[in-house]
Amino acid sequence: MSVGPDQPEASADGPATEVGSRERAFWDEHVPALDYCIGEYRAGPDPNTKAMLDALEPLAGKRVLDFACGAGVTAAFLAARGARVTAIDISPASIEQARELAAEVGVEAEFIAGELTADSFPPESFDAVAGHYALHHVDLTVIAPIFRELLVPGGRGAFVETMGLNPVLSLSRSLLSGRGAVASYGSDDERPIDRADLNVIEMEIGKVELVTGELRFLRIFDRNVLRYRHPEVSKVLGRLDDAMLAAGWGRLSYHQVVVFTAPR
């Protein structure tokens, strides 16, 4: 979360905004176990995370900001590819976990607990910015200009995101999520990225490209409704999603990679 231009500076005691305070409290309470994070890292990036990392290559020696880094798995992936990683998150508990993870898996990164503001880093501090389910938690009219200032000319951004471009999934989320047997994930203040958000990024930074490493449409039904309780059904739904991706229907995916490039 970031502080807007008409809002007070964040203090050392925590975020200045109510949303920021709620987000920090939520993620302080929902830090995954260290063993889980180690297992996720050692399993390697999922297809969408790999697509995000690939979009930022070459990473060796590049200065990369991992925005809203959470428990540090993405930061570890970036560092393992040779990036010089600075990772920031609003949740102190997440940052503590991220430091432990980096030490356990043998990578180096700088971790900072706090909100990203216009004064957090000097201009052109980074060759790239990255994140994993980060942008749909923030006000992009505030964050996008900060990214533009922090990136070097021609710098890249890539974020795995929850998307609101599929009308079926958007309607299902608004009507069914958290009701009855349908699971709900994430904090109360998040919302999927929509076309207006992408327009903000394009206006403030540069042209947006959407990349789908793995289509997650029927897989979301499997996750939220079936809860992966029927392995054979999961396989069928996954194959159907894969077939739709091969047919060029990546735009249906609930999770996509948002890629952008700063002007030179």
- H/E run at residue 152: strand 151-162
The answer to whether residues 28 and 93 touch, using CB atoms and an 8 Å cutoff, is yes
Alpha-carbon dihedral angle through residues 47, 140, 12, 107, given to the nearest 10 degrees: 20
Is 78 inside a domain boundary? yes
Is 241 inside a domain boundary? no
Burial of 24 (0-12, 13-18, 19+ CB in 10 A): buried
Residue 186 confidence (pLDDT)? 57
Is 132 inside a domain boundary? yes
Percent of the chain with pLDDT over 90: 77
Is 220 inside a domain boundary? no
Residue 20 confidence (pLDDT)? 74
Is 171 inside a domain boundary? no
The per-residue pLDDT for range 23-43, each reduced to its tens digit, is: 788 788 889 999 999 999 999
Strands 63-67 and 126-132: parallel
Taking residue 154's Cβ as centre, other Cβ atoms within 10 Å add up to 11
Q: What CATH number did the domain enclosing 135 receive? A: 3.40.50.150
Percent of the chain with pLDDT over 70: 88
The per-residue pLDDT for range 87-135, each reduced to its tens digit, is: 999 999 999 999 999 999 999 999 999 999 999 999 999 999 999 999 9
Q: Residue 87's domain spans which residues?
A: 18-164+188-215+253-261
Is 226 inside a domain boundary? no
Return the residue matching tokens 């030179």.
264
Residue 15 confidence (pLDDT)? 63
Residue 235 confidence (pLDDT)? 98
9 pLDDT more than 70: no
Residue 2 confidence (pLDDT)? 31
Number of structural domains (the chain) is 1
The answer to whether residues 257 and 210 touch, using CB atoms and an 8 Å cutoff, is yes
The per-residue pLDDT for range 149-200, each reduced to its tens digit, is: 999 999 999 999 999 998 888 777 666 555 454 445 555 667 899 999 999 9
Confidence of residue 138 (pLDDT cuts 50, 70, 90): very high
Average pLDDT of every residue of the chain: 89
6 pLDDT more than 50: no
pTM: 0.88
241 pLDDT more than 70: yes
Task: Kindly write down the DSSP assignment for every residue of 134-149, as one continuous string.
Answer: -GGGS-HHHHHHHHHH
Residue 8 confidence (pLDDT)? 31
Is 4 inside a domain boundary? no
Is 58 inside a domain boundary? yes
Residue 173 confidence (pLDDT)? 60
What are the φ/ψ torsions at residue 254 (nearest 5 degrees)?
-70, -25
